[in-house]
Structure 1
Amino acid sequence: MVEEKKNSSEEIGRMKKNIKLEESISLKEKTDGVIYNSVGTLRYAPRHNSEMVSQALLGTHVKVLEKNKEWLKVQTPDDYTGWIIGSVKLMTQNELQHYHNQPKVIVTSTFATSYEKEDDKSLPVSDLVIGNILILKSETEQYFEVGYPDGRNAYVKQSDTAELSFWLNNIELNGESIVNTAFRFMGVPYLWGGTSSKGLDCSGFTKNVYFMHGIILSRDASQQVNQGQLVDSMGDFSTLLPGDMVFFGTKSKPSTETERDKNSERVVHVGIYIGNNRFIHASDNVHISSFNPDDELYDEFNAKRYLRAKRYIANGHAVNVNRYSL
């Protein structure tokens, strides 16, 4: 009986070792993935009750860094990392290359739905949000036939989407277009870690608006402030143009060596300047505020913690930021 138990323990040990080896081999072969849900949720730790740190949209390529049971630690194209369960179709390098080589469509409506048939009265396949990217399979008069990274097929209205290559080549890269896109998110509720039209935090809002112009901003306001071109740091809003980004937080203070971290500048909020001393930002929801004390939309709290403004588009070109490429 003792020998039988010993053998059983050894067998269980071998099984566990083999399972770990299989997981390691699997992860080694498939260290890339693509998000297949409209929005994939990234958390700080591999637990459902862990803080949401960010989101990744359908069609986003992620690098798989680590595996913990059913959870994957992934890295998004903006170098942000988090833990995700589901939502990722794992791929080998060959599979990923095949995916990249296929034509795509991008969702341009704030919200949309894909359907089983070329009929909006047929069953939905999934919800979609602005910025989602799907495989283009064929085209009819009013619909695109599309494919998901996980193998599902569906139909989306052409009025909600655009061919990705055509869209990229016809982006209006100017401040007016940035502001008009920002207005489309008016009223979307604030969501910590949110980067989709279902819910946005302040930097997720700016990131989404600029992504719809083919520009890849960093994830957080404290990172976005290091991109672009400095326009103002003195509160002279006459130098700003619509589409510039305005940053808020606490200014650095003179300090000793031991107090440096405590007294250093902290960028904690960001919005988009729309002209006439006004800006649009995600705080409670996406809305417009003003720097002007005489304006009915005056935002005293943010006006007092204004730090600087940066420009990311000049003369039809992106400035000190990465562009999205096929």
Structure 2
Amino acid sequence: MMQRESTMWVCRVPVGTIWTSPEKVREVDAQGVGETVKINKWRESMNEEENHDLTKSNRIQTQLLYGEPVAIDEIEGDWAKVVALWQPSNKDERGYPGWIPKAQLAEIEALNKQGYARVIANKAQLWTLDFKPLLAVPFNTMLPVKETGEYVRVQTPDGDALISAEQVEIAPDYDQVPSGSGVDIAQLGEEFLDLQYFWGGMSSYGYDCSGFSYNLLKANGVIIPRDAHDQSREGQEVDKDMQESWRIGDLLFFSNEEGGWEPHHVGIYFGNGLMIHSPTPGKAIEIIELAGTKHERELCAVRRFVQEEQR
């Protein structure tokens, strides 16, 4: 599976999960590691203890979206050790590392792109060229553009396909999405209220806390690191003790130890002392008031990645 210069390896399922190691996969995870991934059925198959165990046992690292590129470092049986090239991490200077079933990868032609079509809908339908349903892809999926029109022709791991122009925006590259404001970030977050938390989640089938902040900022033109502890070291520092200086769209970081530093959680400031976040397994994305909560006590950093609060 060595990559040729004219090709690239990409995720060939709507959402592919990158694991810490192949040994971390359990029987209950079968719906997440097959050639056909069924995220909703996977989640539904887990009881509360098994869901929490994803977190406690450090099974999942991150996820890939359909068409997202990887570098392959090693093949071991049915598994590939990869680096997610679009997800910055201090674990590897190239991106986020981990293991994924090689059946969830495909080798495609590396295009001289006319840009990327980024999915702006919660889910969007891909169609074959003769308008038969291909598959649904989640929010923030980015596919190389071949031709624009009422339907955009895009390159996919399943060949050329069509997607409604109303469900995408065109960007010159994956990291050149049109810039949004802090208010844009917060308002976009509202579209995912009540979406269940999913450890390692990077899709509109379920986000973890840092996957949520990563994707909201990516959709507004800012690429930040994948994990909360890396995110907390980027951007512009804002005084955490002066809430009046915070702006809507700032990222708020929280430590397990009151007054400590190492973040375990991140949320997005919503204004008026409120935060929107993806909290923990068993809970869903919500807006909360910070005052009087453990989050108020555990706040360890505030970082700004978007300078304009409003457009």
Instruction: Say whether the fold is shared (TM-score over 0.5).
Output: yes
Partner of 1:111: 123
Any conservation in 2 of the 1:136–1:145 contact (CA below 8 Å)? yes
1:94-122 alpha-carbon deviations (Å, 9 max, x no partner): x4xx3253543111111111123575xxx
Match of 2:219 among 207, 212, 227: 212
In structure 2, do the counterparts of structure 1 residues 274 and 57 end up closer, same or farther at CA, with 3 Å as the change threshold?
same
Answer yes or no: is the 8 Å Cα contact 1:46–1:83 preserved in 2.
yes
* Deviation sequence 1:36-86 (CA, Å, 0-9, x none): 322211011124428222101223221111111121111112221110112
Aligned counterparts of 1:54 and 1:137: Cα–Cα separation in 2: 29
Structure 1-normalised TM-score?
0.73
Gapped runs of 5+ residues in structure 2? 30-58, 89-94
State the match for 1:195 in structure 2: 202
The answer to whether residue 151 in structure 2 is matched with residue 171 in structure 1 is: no
The counterpart of 1:237, out of the listed 220, 233, 243, is 243
The Cα of 1:252 is off from its aligned counterpart by 7.7
Where 1:313 maps in the other structure, the secondary structure is: coil
Contact 1:106 1:132 in 2 (8 A): yes
Q: Which amino acid aligns with 1:27?
A: M
Quote the residue 2:105 is aligned against: 88
* Other-structure match for 2:42: none
Q: Which residue of 1 aligns with 2:139?
A: 130
Does the residue aligned with 2:225 lie in a helix, a strand or coil?
coil
CA drift of 1:167 comes to 9.9
Match in the other structure for 2:255: 249
Q: Does 1:311 align with 2:304?
A: yes
Q: Is the 1:228–1:312 Cα contact (8 Å) retained in structure 2?
A: yes
CA contact (8 A) 1:27 1:67 kept: no
Secondary structure in 1 aligned to 2:161?
strand
Higher-Rg member (1/2): 1
Which one-letter code corresponds to 1:291 in the other structure?
L
Aligned to 1:56: 64
Q: Deviations over 1:267-316 (max 9, x none)?
A: 100000010000100011111011234xxxxxx12222111211111259
Distance in 2 (CA, whole Å) between partners of 1:52 and 1:100 is 33
CA RMSD of aligned residues (A): 2.6
Tell me, in whole angstroms, the C-alpha distance in 2 between the residues paired with 1:99 and 1:167.
13
Separation of aligned partners in 1, 2:155 and 2:3: 26
Looking at structure 1, the residues matched to 174 and 298 of structure 2 have their Cα atoms a distance apart, in angstroms, of 37
How many residues end up aligned between the 2 structures? 264
- Secondary structure of 1:179's counterpart equals helix
Identity of aligned residues (%): 26
- Equivalent position SS for 2:193: coil
Q: Does 1:40 align with 2:46?
A: no
Paired position in structure 2 for 1:11? none
Q: TM-score, normalising length from structure 2?
A: 0.77
Aligned position for 1:302: 295
Change (3 A) 1:204 1:167: closer
CA contact (8 A) 1:250 1:307 kept: no
User: 1:89 Cα deviation (Å)?
Assistant: 2.0
Contact 1:202–1:281 (Cα < 8 Å) also in 2? yes
CA contact (8 A) 1:107 1:133 kept: yes
In structure 1, the gaps of 5 or more residues are: 1-25, 254-263, 294-299, 317-326
